[in-house]
Structure 1
Amino acid sequence: MAVVVLLGAGVGGGFLWKAHRDRAAADRAVRDVAQAYLAAWRALDRTGPALATATTPGLGPGGSAGTPSPSSPSSPSSATVAPASLPWRQAAGHPADAYAARAEAGIAAVTVPGSIDVPTLVATMADMRDRLRLTDAAFTVGEVRRAETTATVPYTATLRLAGQPAPWIYPGELSLTKVGGGWRVGAALASVHPQLAPGLRFDRTGSTAKRGELLDAHGKPLAESPELAGNLVGQVAPATGLERVYDGRLAPRGGSIVLRDSRGTVVRTPQTWPMTDGDQIRTTIDLGVQRAAELALATSTHPIGAMVAVDTRTGGILAAANHPTNGYGRALRGSYPPGSTFKIVTATAALMAGRDANTRLDCPKTVNVGGRTFVNAEDEEFGPINLREAFAHSCNTAFVSLADSLPADTLAQAARLYGFDGAAPLPIASVGGVYPMPRDKVEVASAAIGQGRVATSPLQLASVAAAVAGGTWHAPFVVGGPTRSHELPPKILPDLRSFLRAVVTDGTAAKVAFPGEVFGKTGTAEYAPGNPPPTHAWFVGYRGTVAFAVLIENGGFGAESAAPVAAAFLNALDGNLPPPATAVDASGATPAPVTSAGPG
């Protein structure tokens, strides 16, 4: 009798174990379908325009939290939006299009019509994504509740919206139906959000707080300068410049998620965030220095020019001015041959290779390298001179021969040390320095005097002068700190600095009345063929902790047109404001750099 009881108990236990296993398997099947549905929903949310805008390199976040969503009272309700009208369907070739189609297919594969059809469900999800500007979605599945042919699965949604620091978290529930041998989610508006119903659609309201401002180093709004407002700060809508880059910080935070009816009336407010003002972002710009740069450029008799000033200690940009004011932003994004200002880089290469200030060179009228004849400006010749003198008088032929004598790639190494790597310095449209690897000795010779394929901007050359002054090249920046820095070899700095000082005391810029102890280099850069060829004028240098670069388009010789502007800038910093000049030429589109080797 005891044996029979034990056998019965064993059979009963096995039955109970099997029943438990079957229930667990059935629950797991329901759970798997619910998770597949939620995963496809998440994938659909991750394909939206808000996410694409927020994560594209070089662009700012997808819209300000203070900007109303594109919905209007006349917009259709979410229940009537067809998939073909969704933004990611309208934009042919949108990078998210194929991914969105796969996400939609994933939802359809585990869904059956319920209170709405499946296309309407997908359209509702996408409409919610676009109106709320969702950047991500995450879902956590709860405990399955299952009957014979129906089941419910609770979930917690965590949705992130562009411009909102905290996510929107809410509970939801999926209703599933057994179809054939498997389970499917029933399409319903309430499965998207428990308060969503026919005739209602989601929207978001902007913050009523204030947008932050971009400030100069002393806390003054950069917008006070029309020049900076147009070429650096940018605008909010459409977002450009620093307003675009830092929109996520400048935008006021807070606002609400609302449900609107077909007339646009708010009927419910499922979520509200506290209203807080956007950040006040302090930049490296000094409006006093900016004003001095603008006044200095106004003294030029040439109509087109640009100037950048940089802090020699950090690489932070102090000023970026263009002439005419608020014209094309040449200061930051103009690209030109550097001419003889590049001899700073060539001299650095020579000093790194073991040469010194007293290294003997020859400065004839012409020199031939690889079948190409190089000449000095105005056919000058100085005969035997040392490296310091060759730099001070900007002797092309001496520097061409010097570069030809250096070990291979030495000039390229020096160029990289000063950031001539082709990278854009700023998170807005900007140009750095480009030093393409020379293909032969002729290109090395051309590069040595800043011609050929070498190209740069006033911003880049200001950073070169700052590197000589401070001993370290810093990538220029306006917010935060430099993204890259290269220390110059300390042993070369005394000679290098003496070279720049000699230009002002004894060399090409000696006739310019600079205030104080100024270090600099003139540059005259050919940009097109001609006899004589037309040239842009440069002067780069530093005084104290302020480095600068002046460009005058079609300005002829650097000593004649660019260096006086630099002197006017320093005088303006000292409070001696210069009077503006009357331009002699009102023409001027930006000429493109050419590969011509010419005078220094």
Structure 2
Amino acid sequence: MASALPARTPVRKTVAAALALAASAPLLSGCFEEPSAHDAVRDFLVGWQSGDYEMAARRTDGDPGHVAKALAEVRLQLDAASLRFHLTGVSRSGDASQAGFRAEVDLGENNPLWVYHGKLPLHLVDGAWKVRWSPSVLHPQLKEGQRFAVPPISDSRQPVLDRNRDALQRDAVLYVAGVTPAHLKDPERLCEELAEVTGFAQDRLLSRIHSAPPNELAPLVTFGRRKYAELQSRLNAIQGITIRPQKQPVDPGAPTQIVGRVSAITPETEQQLGGPQRAGDSVGLSGLQKAYQDQLTGATAIRVITLDLKTGKEVAELAKWEGRSNAPVQTTIDARLQGSAEVAVASANKAALVAVKASTGEVLAVATQQFHQEKDALGGKFAAGSVFSIVAADALLQAGVTAKQRLPCPSERTVGGARFQQTGGSTGGTPTFKGSLANACVTALAALGRRVDAGTLSASARSFGIGSDWQLPLKSFSGSLPRLTSSAARAKAIVGQNIKVSPLSMALIAGAIKNGTWHPPVLVKQPATPDPAAETPPVRQPNPIKLDPARTDMLRGLMRAGVTSGTAATANANGPQVYGISSFTTGDRSWFIGYQDDVAVAVLAEGNDPAAIAGAFFHGVHSTA
């Protein structure tokens, strides 16, 4: 067996524990007449605990070299991060004594603490107390010709699923490098070479070998396809290495940035996860794969056993932890609608499309071109533009504005000192409020900032979820609005200039108008509760908000005008009617929000017509139904 390796426990922790053990000296000295008896117990346990195996061995009646080696191998065979010992009692009968102790073996971060009770038989040898050496000193059930082993039992990574429980990723081949310990002539040299090639710590590789059953393949390192191709020739040069391909669901399908990337464990990710990981493990680097890492991988079942050194067969099971079973993560994504969304944005210069189920708030599709699906489509903070006027319309209708009210649409206007310009479409004339909203006449709509008070406008925004404390397992943004104490601030809010939103929050607004109730978003169906491993702590989701039925019906009429006689006409698609409004380009960006049947959508685009992108999406949804 290999010589002792340095303990992985921080020195400060080990020294503190050793001092704590030594502090029991006054109690022990009352049990032993000879101070050297206390010294023997103390030195043996403190030496074993701290890694000073020679000191511990000198306090036994066994061969010092043999005992020191056996003590060192306990830590290796258990792949233990630390060992701690506590005396539980002492008895004496003539020239023989016995000390009881409780052992606490840390099997590694994220792994269990193995606690067992042992006994130290002592007797006088030439007037000095010595621990009577045998393997049972290490554990009561350990006998000559036996050793410890910790064979892990792990399950493959589980997939992320769509709403119909179809996988949102494909299997990819990972390459697991392992060894059969009994076949190795020089495990230290092999681990040295493998550490040089992979960057993994040599002592960690060696401890995996020593803790594994000698006649079973012990996985050491896992590689993705590219990394394996890069290192294959160097790995083949290491004698004793066996490479086995292993399929795991790690290749993300659409929406790729929502599903997230997965990597084989690397030296860097092993440190990030905190503690030793198993070769063959994978780690989510982004998206839901990262947010639900624990759910998808579970916790390894662990057994502590004894093996017969001659046969390599298991003799006894000393402890077992079932671990935590892994399970898939089921999302609300609809693969069919996701495909239509991908096609709709494919030819755009830069666009983000989010579709939700109007009646539930469930996220059905997230597709982007140049934008990021999580950071921008779900969590982006963009100026809302004049499509926000549909939310302001709820407050304006309460304030007495009617759909038929005439509003001049000049090329520019000043409200409360704030200047507004019409950047697209026709100007002049006196269209109705309905026409101004359908055709995104910013100057006409801004004039209404004097017709509504801050409280009513803010309340309408909140009823559509703006600023709500809803939260997803990924980064998301519900929107924000400033204090609306001046007519200029209210005018800017009506045309969305000082309102920040995400495409997701805008899709939920369209869904609320369709359904008559605003619903907080849902992205994950199972597990039903938020994952504690998510980047942000879970919060209680807000309740759905029922909208005023009469005003909501009027809002639907305003949105229908947007696609029949307004700027959103390009959103018209075959099949059921489309409802929606568009904004003109502001700062190179323009919006569309609308719905068809129970599917509500928001599109943010740069250099493209967002209504046309929405129309292509709805057409795809209808044609693939």
**1:517 paired residue number:** 577
CA RMSD of aligned residues (A): 4.8
Counterparts of residues 42-441 of structure 1 (less than 5 Å): 77=5, 80-81=6-7, 84=10, 107=20, 110=23, 113-117=42-46, 120-121=49-50, 145=89, 170-172=115-117, 205-223=151-169, 226-235=253-262, 237-239=282-284, 240-251=286-297, 254-258=300-304, 270-273=318-321, 278-298=326-346, 300=347, 302-323=348-369, 330-353=376-399, 355-359=401-405, 361-378=407-424, 380-381=426-427, 383-421=429-467, 425-438=471-484, 440-441=486-487
How far did residue 351 of structure 1 move?
3.2
- Can you list the C-alpha shifts for 1:391-439, whole angstroms capped at 9, x where unaligned? 2122212322223321223322222222322757421233332323357
Q: Distance in 2 between matches of 1:445 and 1:496?
A: 19
How far did residue 510 of structure 1 move?
2.9
Q: Distance in 2 between matches of 1:523 and 1:328?
A: 23
Q: Does 1:466 align with 2:511?
A: yes
Matched residue SS, 2:612? helix
Q: With CA pairs under 8 Å and 6+ residues apart, which has the higher RCO, 1 or 2?
A: 1
1:205 and 1:257 in contact (8 A); partners too? yes
Q: Does 1:455 align with 2:482?
A: no
- Could you say if the C-alpha distance between residues 192 and 370 of structure 1 is closer, same or farther in structure 2, counting changes exceeding 3 Å? farther
- Could you say if the C-alpha distance between residues 203 and 364 of structure 1 is closer, same or farther in structure 2, counting changes exceeding 3 Å? farther
- Can you list the C-alpha shifts for 1:278-333, whole angstroms capped at 9, x where unaligned? 323321111100000011112x4x42212111111111111111125988863234
- Can you list the C-alpha shifts for 1:167-221, whole angstroms capped at 9, x where unaligned? 777543699xxxxxxxxxx9xx999987899xx9998654343322111112211
Structure 1's unaligned 5+ residue stretches are 1-72, 90-99, 176-185, 528-534, 556-560, 578-600
1:363 and 1:397 in contact (8 A); partners too? yes
- Can you list the C-alpha shifts for 1:224-276, whole angstroms capped at 9, x where unaligned? 56332344333254423212222333225553244899x9x999864345699
**2:241 paired residue number:** none
How far did residue 355 of structure 1 move?
4.2
Residue identity matched to 1:215: L
- Can you list the C-alpha shifts for 1:333-389, whole angstroms capped at 9, x where unaligned? 433222112112211222344544345544333321232221223474354444323
- Can you list the C-alpha shifts for 1:124-174, whole angstroms capped at 9, x where unaligned? 9xx99x97799xxxx9x99x756699997777989999878xx77754369
1:363 and 1:383 in contact (8 A); partners too? yes
1:471 and 1:488 in contact (8 A); partners too? yes
Normalising by structure 2, we get a TM-score of 0.60
Residue identity matched to 2:598: T
2:81 and 2:106 in contact (8 A); partners too? no
Q: Distance in 1 between matches of 2:116 and 2:577?
A: 70
- Could you say if the C-alpha distance between residues 379 and 295 of structure 1 is closer, same or farther in structure 2, counting changes exceeding 3 Å? closer
| Matched residues, number | 452
Q: Distance in 2 between matches of 1:524 and 1:536?
A: 8
How far did residue 522 of structure 1 move?
0.5
Q: Distance in 1 between matches of 2:138 and 2:486?
A: 66
Q: Distance in 1 between matches of 2:399 and 2:81?
A: 57
Q: Distance in 2 between matches of 1:191 and 1:446?
A: 79
Residue identity matched to 1:372: A
**1:496 paired residue number:** 555
Q: Distance in 1 between matches of 2:109 and 2:147?
A: 18
- Could you say if the C-alpha distance between residues 324 and 104 of structure 1 is closer, same or farther in structure 2, counting changes exceeding 3 Å? same
Q: Distance in 2 between matches of 1:122 and 1:411?
A: 70
- Could you say if the C-alpha distance between residues 357 and 439 of structure 1 is closer, same or farther in structure 2, counting changes exceeding 3 Å? closer
- Can you list the C-alpha shifts for 1:471-501, whole angstroms capped at 9, x where unaligned? 2222222113793334142232111111111
Q: Distance in 2 between matches of 1:168 and 1:292?
A: 51
- Could you say if the C-alpha distance between residues 274 and 564 of structure 1 is closer, same or farther in structure 2, counting changes exceeding 3 Å? same
- Could you say if the C-alpha distance between residues 215 and 82 of structure 1 is closer, same or farther in structure 2, counting changes exceeding 3 Å? closer
Q: Distance in 1 between matches of 2:396 and 2:137?
A: 72
Q: Distance in 2 between matches of 1:550 and 1:193?
A: 66
**1:475 paired residue number:** 520
Residue identity matched to 1:232: V
1:227 and 1:322 in contact (8 A); partners too? no
Question: Which deviates more, 100-109 or 503-512?
Answer: 100-109
1:309 and 1:546 in contact (8 A); partners too? yes
Q: Distance in 1 between matches of 2:43 and 2:99?
A: 14
Q: Distance in 1 between matches of 2:615 and 2:352?
A: 14
Q: Distance in 2 between matches of 1:520 and 1:340?
A: 12
Matched residue SS, 1:114? helix
**2:205 paired residue number:** none
Q: Distance in 2 between matches of 1:102 and 1:282?
A: 47
2:387 and 2:440 in contact (8 A); partners too? no
Matched residue SS, 2:566? coil
**1:484 paired residue number:** 542
Normalising by structure 1, we get a TM-score of 0.62
Counterparts of residues 32-43 of structure 1 (less than 5 Å): none
- Could you say if the C-alpha distance between residues 235 and 82 of structure 1 is closer, same or farther in structure 2, counting changes exceeding 3 Å? closer
Matched residue SS, 2:288? helix
Q: Distance in 1 between matches of 2:579 and 2:616?
A: 15
How far did residue 563 of structure 1 move?
0.8
Structure 2's unaligned 5+ residue stretches are 26-41, 53-71, 121-130, 171-251, 264-281, 529-539
Residue identity matched to 1:552: A
- Could you say if the C-alpha distance between residues 269 and 407 of structure 1 is closer, same or farther in structure 2, counting changes exceeding 3 Å? same
Q: Distance in 2 between matches of 1:335 and 1:513?
A: 28
Residue identity matched to 2:43: G
Q: Distance in 2 between matches of 1:361 and 1:174?
A: 93
Q: Distance in 2 between matches of 1:160 and 1:468?
A: 56
- Could you say if the C-alpha distance between residues 117 and 145 of structure 1 is closer, same or farther in structure 2, counting changes exceeding 3 Å? closer
1:305 and 1:552 in contact (8 A); partners too? yes
- Can you list the C-alpha shifts for 1:523-551, whole angstroms capped at 9, x where unaligned? 23523xxxxxxx21221111011111112
Residue identity matched to 1:536: R
1:256 and 1:269 in contact (8 A); partners too? no
Q: Distance in 2 between matches of 1:490 and 1:398?
A: 25
**1:537 paired residue number:** 590
1:363 and 1:395 in contact (8 A); partners too? yes
| Equivalent position to 1:563, from 595, 611, 615 | 611
